[in-house]
């Protein structure tokens, strides 16, 4: 009898515990759901402006017609700003390009994200994790770029031929058999845009642009005399300053990844969404986030922004390869043809700014190092000085080509400040996740 009572008592106790657990669990799930819904609606409103309901969904206009309150939070200095100061500078001072200390880890990049709880994709709410950073193959390192630039400066060009796009760009072969793309700008602005964007990337620690040098056309010089007849036939002016960038073999086209297309929510640091991607895809997305910051800062419309623009008449443009973006077989993105950046891009900002903002606003995860550089440039307000120093110290022909105007330097600093505010905003949104 006593045993039966004890069993009944135990059963009663078990049922009570089960009920309490069930009620608590339901409350917790609905709290989480509310939180996630709130987060998603916030991210849609703020980061990737959705179309108002009276417009046909998924049209280009719908994408861009955004109520002012839903636009990027460029103006709100929220209370999370202090958190950003906590970003460690792991990379040394601004101006050096030698930041890639990563090992070539392609093998693991192809295996997909392990299901391990220990693998984190995002750190501190908005930064790609160190685990992912370690899987990014080395791009054009400072050491490589310096060696290439030194070699290219003194080398004789033995052949000029098509192979680098339009006729004003020529594929040059050096005496040692290596190659470069020579870009002869229709005006100096294009060469300046190309060159200063390269150095701006250097300032930010972005190493996806092939090494670049300037050269002044002179058919009597050792570098150009062998191809003098070709230069005449191309009608290139003597003394013009052209840029030469390292030619890279086996590059292929790149289609905009799903999270960055207009129908997606954007690239947000939500573990659920990122875990759907393979490691290889994540490593590429990480490089896209650098590209988006660089193109925003330089107002380069000749890549993703022009795709967004073309959606008006070509609804499948995002499914095609992106302009001026290529990929190496190891998975490095190569940002080519940056001549629309900084100079021309700033001149036509009125037309393109809304597209630039939309794209920047769609991304809320960044490389820590790049964010760190933006934060420093925002704080010190010395982007012009640092860019000029780096350009002057690295390029002997900088006096010949010149630098951009003070007005454009002001535009660049303002854009740095906006990216900073956007990073701050993202930190505020996601630092608790």
Ligand X SMILES: Nc1ncnc2c1ncn2[C@@H]1O[C@H](COP(=O)(O)OP(=O)(O)OP(=O)(O)O)[C@@H](O)[C@H]1O
> Toward ligand X, which CB reaches closer, 127 or 184?
184
Q: Please name the residue ranges forming H helices in 47-114.
A: 60-64, 81-84, 106-109
Question: Which residue's CB atom is positioned nearest to Mg ion?
Answer: 337
Contacts with Mg ion, 316-345, as mask; x by CB under 5 A: --------x------------x--------
247 binds ligand X (CB under 6 A): yes
Contacts with ligand X, 178-207, as mask; x by CB under 6 A: ---x--------------------------
295 binds Mg ion (CB under 5 A): no
Looking up tokens 């999370």, which residue turns up?
80
Which residues, at least 6 apart from 85, have a Cβ–Cβ distance to it below 8 Å?
375
> Toward ligand X, which CB reaches closer, 207 or 245?
245
Structure tokens at 294: 């660089």
- Which H/E stretch holds residue 113? none
CA distance 266 to 261: 7
170 binds Mg ion (CB under 5 A): no
Q: What is the size of the binding site for ligand X (CB under 6 A)?
A: 15
Residue 251 near which of ligand X, Mg ion, none (CB within 5-8 Å, type-dependent): ligand X
Number of C-beta neighbours around residue 384 at 10 A: 17
CA distance 84 to 79: 11
Q: Which stretch binds ligand X (CB under 6 A): 194-202, 243-251, 271-279, 400-408?
A: 243-251
- Which H/E stretch holds residue 39? helix 2-46
- Out of 43, 155, 323, 398, point to the residue binding ligand X (CB under 6 A): 323
Contact (Cβ atoms closer than 8 angstroms) between residue 338 and residue 298: yes
Contact (Cβ atoms closer than 8 angstroms) between residue 46 and residue 429: yes
Contacts with ligand X, 142-171, as mask; x by CB under 6 A: ----------------------xxx--x--
CB of 376 to ligand X, least distance (A): 29
CB of 186 to Mg ion, least distance (A): 13
362 binds Mg ion (CB under 5 A): no
> Toward Mg ion, which CB reaches closer, 183 or 378?
183
Contact (Cβ atoms closer than 8 angstroms) between residue 325 and residue 291: yes
Distance of CA 19 to the CA centre of its chain: 51
Please state the φ and ψ torsions of residue 122, each to the nearest 5 degrees. -130, 140
CB of 337 to ligand X, least distance (A): 3
210 binds ligand X (CB under 6 A): yes
194 binds Mg ion (CB under 5 A): no
> Toward ligand X, which CB reaches closer, 164 or 365?
164
CB of 165 to Mg ion, least distance (A): 5
> Toward ligand X, which CB reaches closer, 247 or 391?
247
Number of C-beta neighbours around residue 189 at 10 A: 18
> Toward ligand X, which CB reaches closer, 95 or 165?
165
b (16+ CB within 10 A) / e for 169-178: bbbbbbeeee
- The DSSP secondary-structure symbol of 121 reads S
CB of 340 to Mg ion, least distance (A): 9
CB of 145 to ligand X, least distance (A): 13
Residue 248 near which of ligand X, Mg ion, none (CB within 5-8 Å, type-dependent): ligand X
Structure tokens at 178: 């290596």
> Toward Mg ion, which CB reaches closer, 26 or 187?
187
Residue 213 near which of ligand X, Mg ion, none (CB within 5-8 Å, type-dependent): none
Contact (Cβ atoms closer than 8 angstroms) between residue 245 and residue 212: yes
Which residues ranging from 332 to 391 are in contact with ligand X (CB under 6 A)? 336-337
Question: Which residue's CB atom is positioned nearest to ligand X?
Answer: 165
- Out of 170, 207, 223, 245, point to the residue binding ligand X (CB under 6 A): 245
Structure tokens at 70: 């839903």
CA distance 193 to 403: 10
Coil/strand/helix, residue 202 = helix
CB of 430 to Mg ion, least distance (A): 35
CB of 409 to Mg ion, least distance (A): 26
DSSP string for 232-293: HHHTPPTT-EEEEEE--TT-EEEEPPGGGSTTS--B---HHHHTTS-HHHHHHHHHHHHHHH
Contact footprint for ligand X (CB under 6 A): 164-166, 169, 181, 210, 245-248, 251, 323-324, 336-337
Contact footprint for Mg ion (CB under 5 A): 324, 337
């Amino acid at each position: 009898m006593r045993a039966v009572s004890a069993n009944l008592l135990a059963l009663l106790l078990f049922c009570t515990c089960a009920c309490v657990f069930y009620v608590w669990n339901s409350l917790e799930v609905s709290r989480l759901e509310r939180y996630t819904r709130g987060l998603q609606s916030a991210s849609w409103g703020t980061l990737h402006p959705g179309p108002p309901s009276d417009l046909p969904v998924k049209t280009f206009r719908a994408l861009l017609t955004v109520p002012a309150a839903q636009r990027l939070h460029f103006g709100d200095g929220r209370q999370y700003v202090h958190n950003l100061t906590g970003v460690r500078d792991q990379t040394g001072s601004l101006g050096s390009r030698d930041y890639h200390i990563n090992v070539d880890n392609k093998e693991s990049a192809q295996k997909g994200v392990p299901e391990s709880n220990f693998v984190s994709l995002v750190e501190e709410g908005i930064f790609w994790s160190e685990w992912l950073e370690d899987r990014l193959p080395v791009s054009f390192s400072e050491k490589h770029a310096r060696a290439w630039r030194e070699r290219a400066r003194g080398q004789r060009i033995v052949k000029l031929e098509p192979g680098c796009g339009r006729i004003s760009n020529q594929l040059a072969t050096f005496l040692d058999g290596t190659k470069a793309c020579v870009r002869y700008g229709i005006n100096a602005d294009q060469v300046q845009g190309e060159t200063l964007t390269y150095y701006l990337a250097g300032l930010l620690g972005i190493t996806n642009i092939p090494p670049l040098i300037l050269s002044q056309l002179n058919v009597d010089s050792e570098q150009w005399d062998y191809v003098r007849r070709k230069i005449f036939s191309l009608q290139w002016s003597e003394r013009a300053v052209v840029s030469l960038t390292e030619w890279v073999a086996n590059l292929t086209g790149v289609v905009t990844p799903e999270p960055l297309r207009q129908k997606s929510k954007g690239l947000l640091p939500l573990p659920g969404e990122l875990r759907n991607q393979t490691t290889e895809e994540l490593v590429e997305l990480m490089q896209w986030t650098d590209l988006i910051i660089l193109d925003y800062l330089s107002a380069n419309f000749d890549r993703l922004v022009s795709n967004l623009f073309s959606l008006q008449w070509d609804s499948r443009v995002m499914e095609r390869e992106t302009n001026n973006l290529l990929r190496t077989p190891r998975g490095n993105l190569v940002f080519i043809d940056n001549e629309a950046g900084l100079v021309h891009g700033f001149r036509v900002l009125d037309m393109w700014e809304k597209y630039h903002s939309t794209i920047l606003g769609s991304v809320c995860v960044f490389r820590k190092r790049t964010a760190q550089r933006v934060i420093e440039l925002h704080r010190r307000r010395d982007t012009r000085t640092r860019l000029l120093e780096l350009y002057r110290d690295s390029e002997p022909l900088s006096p010949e080509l010149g630098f951009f105007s003070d007005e454009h330097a002001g535009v660049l600093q303002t854009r740095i400040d906006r990216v900073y505010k956007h990073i701050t905003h993202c930190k505020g949104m996601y630092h608790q996740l």
